[in-house]
């Protein structure tokens, strides 16, 4: 029997069984298709040594008039401007007290350890099992302390995060900080950020320089009191942010710290931090009427209960940013990289009618109007209308009052219960509600903008689940994928069940779409059923009309543009350049990327006869590999029946599977397998390996037995 060419159909298919998908690919990870053939995806590397706080859910690259390149980074805790790899905090302020509005009191806090072998997965049988000072994890909370006295942790403070397996009875843990701060009606929550100025020394270790800096609030007590953990003087948060976590050197009070900080202390509170995990309600009455499907859960709209999502866009070299269902802010580049964004209504020349709450903000590039979606109306300031669209006067983000002498105004969508997202194309802006798609188009005076419905009975999975590629828009729905090319169509997806049957719907707001134009791809990142954070992706190659999927934790993405590579945010508080090199740059040093692809069954006999597989002739190239001896592992497996696994033992002396390394100049791999159908797996686990598979051939001989 002649050599059999393994010419597989490109793309993955999981809508049918492996046996029914004969001649196709069935499973893969970190592999794409280019010109119909599979290859390992590009690697990634750290963009810089610095990191940011919180999970980034939005990235926005832009260029100033002088050519300076920036990336806006919106996280669950802050908003940053990345310039050259340094993260500059421009988070808006929520409250600034008058001079004398903050007073301090030092305390030495004591925590009962109470650890025993029965309630801890680590062998912490007594306080002596703890380090003499440092950080432990109790009930998934990071506890930092200065020393141990008996069974007490001295100078302790509760933090957040951590992945250690230690557990502890919560009744034995009391959260504490070592500086109590009193600010009337501060409105702050745990993990909010506050900056103190004008404070005087408390008399001991807590000197003025320790107090007068930015802090993250450790606990909030009743009334007007909250606590912070004092740290070394003049240490910025940026200098102690490591892998997305604050690593300070703490300063602990002494008995000499008896002052109150003097009469000149003041505090500036940044906008409340948001969540990086959605908190959902379930059943009847969870969320506003009409949001989500019948009986589904809904993200609670109370402050701090919904995922923190930012929208942002440029107005010239300046930046507009918006907290979803929160305020709209403006960052003036001319004031410097360290200046904070301010409420839109605070701009010079403001007419006092700018929206104060919105779901999304954007700038119409064709006509230079600022557009606020799902915002409060001109006649009802402060009361959010989730279907309302307002637009500023042309070329003027400070003027929103509609007058005969300007082009400001508002429109209201009549279909759906709320605007979910808006995406700008070259010709129009697509506006999505939970059940319809509308086009917002610039008409010119006197109407300025007009709305038309493009489709109904459509869905969108999340506020960031849509992406524009030229004049086309692609988005993930609740159980389908869609595309707009002049009309809305559903995209046939051969991996649809694979994606939506293993999907954490309680965290669907984290879904986001990303483009990778170098390869004609649209990616959707989403959380699988077993994960509360994004851990998977599914990709549509719109040029070749094929799909594939894999595993990767990214929370935001922006395509190449002002930078030569796509930039993505990791769950470790870092930005990564993608399609860069061959390896995984999340570790130091780089680690190998495990990439593989597995075929469906390929009939190698006449269907009713057994066949002997004698050898395989690989067809693999290693162009762009950086190691001197790149290789992949090829595994050929056979079976007799669709219900049989490849691992089941065959006839005496005949194997079911064979694995062999394949290098650049490997001519053949000898095998001795017997079955009716076979499957091929190609995998690489080495550093510096970049591979592309062609069309291998297998040498088979008819056994003769039926």
- Of 217, 245, 270, the residue at which a domain comes to its end is 270
Q: What is the pLDDT of residue 171?
A: 34
Q: Phi and psi at residue 209, in whole multiples of 5°?
A: -65, -25
Instruction: Name the strand (E) or helix (H) holding 496.
Output: helix 496-500
Residues 166 and 186 in one domain: no
| Total residue length of the chain | 706
Q: What is the pLDDT of residue 166?
A: 37
- Of 270, 289, 323, the residue at which a domain comes to its end is 270
User: Considering the domain boundaries, does residue 255 fall inside one?
Assistant: yes
User: Considering the domain boundaries, does residue 513 fall inside one?
Assistant: no
From 524, 521, 520, 545, select the one nearest 536 (Cα to Cα): 524
Is the CB of residue 696 less than 8 Å from the CB of residue 6?
Answer: yes
Whole-number Å distance between alpha carbons of 396 and 350? 9
What single string gives the DSSP state of each residue in 559-606? -SSSSSS-EEE-TTS-EEEES-SSSBTTSSS-B---EEEEE--EE-S-
Angle, CA 158 vertex, CA 153 and CA 164 arms, to 5°: 90
Residues 386 and 316 in one domain: yes
Residues 239 and 101 in one domain: yes
Residues 646 and 684 in one domain: yes
Q: Phi and psi at residue 104, in whole multiples of 5°?
A: -125, 155
Residues 9 and 124 in one domain: no
User: Considering the domain boundaries, does residue 322 fall inside one?
Assistant: yes
Residues 217 and 128 in one domain: no
Q: In what order do the strands lie in the sheet with 575-578?
A: 44-46, 575-578, 567-569, 556-558
User: Considering the domain boundaries, does residue 323 fall inside one?
Assistant: yes
Domains of the chain: total? 4
User: Considering the domain boundaries, does residue 684 fall inside one?
Assistant: yes
Residues 322 and 453 in one domain: yes
Whole-number Å distance between alpha carbons of 332 and 462? 30
Residues 253 and 197 in one domain: yes
Residues 325 and 440 in one domain: yes
Q: What is the pLDDT of residue 70?
A: 97
User: Considering the domain boundaries, does residue 505 fall inside one?
Assistant: no
pTM of the model: 0.89
Q: How many CB atoms lie within 10 A of CB 184?
A: 10
What is the CATH number for 213?
2.40.30.20
- Of 141, 172, 203, the residue at which a domain comes to its end is 172
pLDDT under 50: residue ranges of the chain: 110-129, 139-140, 157-176, 282-304, 651, 706
User: Considering the domain boundaries, does residue 470 fall inside one?
Assistant: no
Whole-number Å distance between alpha carbons of 52 and 570? 10
Map residue 475 onto helix, strand or coil: strand
Q: Cβ contacts of residue 305 below 8 Å, gap of 6+?
A: 275, 279, 299
- Map tokens 């680690």 to a residue: 591
What is the CATH number for 656?
2.60.120
Angle, CA 630 vertex, CA 625 and CA 631 arms, to 5°: 130
Omega of the bond leading into 589 within 30 degrees of 0 (cis): yes
- Map tokens 């040093």 to a residue: 589
Residues 616 and 639 in one domain: yes
Whole-number Å distance between alpha carbons of 54 and 46? 17
Residues 355 and 259 in one domain: no
- Map tokens 């859960």 to a residue: 297
Residues 201 and 315 in one domain: no
Is the CB of residue 227 less than 8 Å from the CB of residue 184?
Answer: no
Angle, CA 332 vertex, CA 393 and CA 241 arms, to 5°: 135
Residue range(s) defining the domain that contains residue 162: 110-172
Q: Cβ contacts of residue 392 below 8 Å, gap of 6+?
A: 354, 369, 370, 371, 398, 399, 400, 408
Q: How many CB atoms lie within 10 A of CB 549?
A: 20
Q: Report residue 330 CA to chain centroid gap.
A: 24
């Amino acid at each position: 029997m002649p050599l059999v060419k393994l010419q597989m159909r490109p793309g993955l298919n999981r809508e049918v069984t492996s046996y029914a998908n004969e001649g196709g690919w069935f499973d893969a990870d970190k592999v794409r298709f280019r010109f119909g053939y599979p290859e390992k995806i590009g690697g990634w590397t750290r963009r810089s040594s610095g990191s940011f706080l919180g999970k980034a859910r939005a990235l926005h690259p832009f260029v100033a008039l002088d050519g300076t390149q920036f990336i806006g980074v919106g996280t669950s805790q802050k908003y940053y401007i990345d310039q050259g790899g340094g993260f500059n905090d421009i988070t808006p302020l929520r409250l600034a007290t008058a001079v004398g509005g903050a007073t301090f009191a030092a305390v030495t806090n004591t925590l009962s350890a109470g650890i025993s072998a029965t309630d801890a997965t680590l062998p912490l049988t007594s306080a002596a099992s703890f380090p003499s000072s440092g950080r432990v994890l109790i009930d998934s909370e990071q506890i930092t302390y200065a020393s141990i006295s008996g069974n007490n942790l001295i100078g302790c403070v509760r933090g957040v995060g951590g992945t250690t397996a230690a557990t502890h009875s919560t009744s034995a843990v009391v959260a504490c900080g070592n500086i109590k701060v009193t600010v009337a009606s501060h409105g702050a929550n745990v993990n909010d950020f506050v900056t103190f100025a004008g404070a005087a020394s408390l008399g001991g270790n807590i000197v003025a320089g320790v107090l007068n800096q930015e802090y993250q609030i450790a606990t909030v007590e009743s009334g007007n009191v909250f606590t912070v953990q004092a740290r070394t003087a003049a240490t910025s948060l940026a200098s102690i942010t490591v892998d997305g976590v604050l690593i300070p050197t703490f300063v602990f009070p002494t008995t000499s710290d008896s002052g109150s900080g003097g009469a000149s202390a003041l505090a500036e509170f940044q906008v409340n931090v948001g969540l990086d995990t959605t908190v959902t309600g379930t059943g009847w009455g969870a969320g506003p009427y009409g949001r989500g499907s019948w009986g589904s859960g809904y993200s609670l709209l109370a402050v701090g209960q919904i995922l923190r999502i930012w929208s942002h866009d440029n107005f010239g070299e300046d930046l507009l940013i918006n907290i979803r269902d929160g305020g709209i802010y403006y960052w003036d580049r001319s004031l410097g990289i360290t200046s904070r964004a301010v409420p839109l209504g605070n701009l010079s020349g403001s007419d006092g009618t700018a929206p104060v709450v919105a779901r999304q903000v954007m700038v119409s590039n064709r006509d230079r109007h600022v557009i606020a979606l799902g915002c409060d109306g001109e006649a009802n300031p402060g009361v959010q209308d989730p279907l309302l669209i307002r637009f500023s006067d042309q070329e003027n983000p400070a003027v929103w009052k509609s007058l005969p002498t300007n082009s400001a105004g508002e429109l209201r969508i009549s279909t759906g219960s709320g605007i979910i997202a808006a995406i700008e194309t070259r010709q129009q802006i697509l506006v999505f509600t939970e059940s319809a798609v509308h086009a917002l188009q610039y008409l010119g005076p006197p109407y300025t903008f007009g709305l038309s419905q493009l489709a109904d009975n459509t869905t969108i999975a999340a506020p960031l689940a849509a992406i524009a590629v030229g004049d086309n828009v692609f988005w993930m729905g609740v159980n389908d994928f869609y595309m707009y090319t002049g009309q809305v169509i559903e995209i046939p997806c051969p991996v649809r069940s694979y994606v939506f049957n293993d999907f954490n719907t309680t965290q669907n707001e984290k879904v986001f779409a990303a483009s990778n134009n170098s390869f004609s791809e649209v990616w959707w990142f989403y959380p699988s059923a077993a994960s509360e954070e994004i851990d998977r992706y599914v990709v549509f190659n719109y040029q070749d009309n094929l799909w594939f999927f894999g595993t990767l934790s990214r929370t935001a993405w922006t395509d190449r543009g002002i930078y030569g590579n796509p930039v993505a945010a990791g769950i470790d508080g870092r930005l990564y350049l993608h399609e860069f090199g061959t390896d995984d740059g999340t570790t130091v040093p780089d680690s190998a990327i495990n990439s593989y692809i597995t075929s469906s069954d390929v009939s190698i006999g006449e269907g009713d006869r057994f066949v002997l597989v004698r050898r395989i002739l690989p067809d693999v190239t290693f162009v762009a590999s950086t190691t001197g001896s790149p290789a992949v592992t090829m595994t050929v497996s056979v079976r007799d029946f669709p219900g049989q696994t490849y691992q089941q033992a065959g006839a005496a002396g005949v194997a079911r599977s064979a694995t062999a390394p394949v290098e650049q100049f490997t001519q053949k791999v000898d095998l001795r397998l017997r079955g009716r159908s076979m499957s091929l797996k190609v995998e690489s686990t080495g550093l510096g390996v970049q591979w592309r598979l062609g069309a291998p051939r297998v040498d088979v001989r008819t056994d003769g037995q039926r």
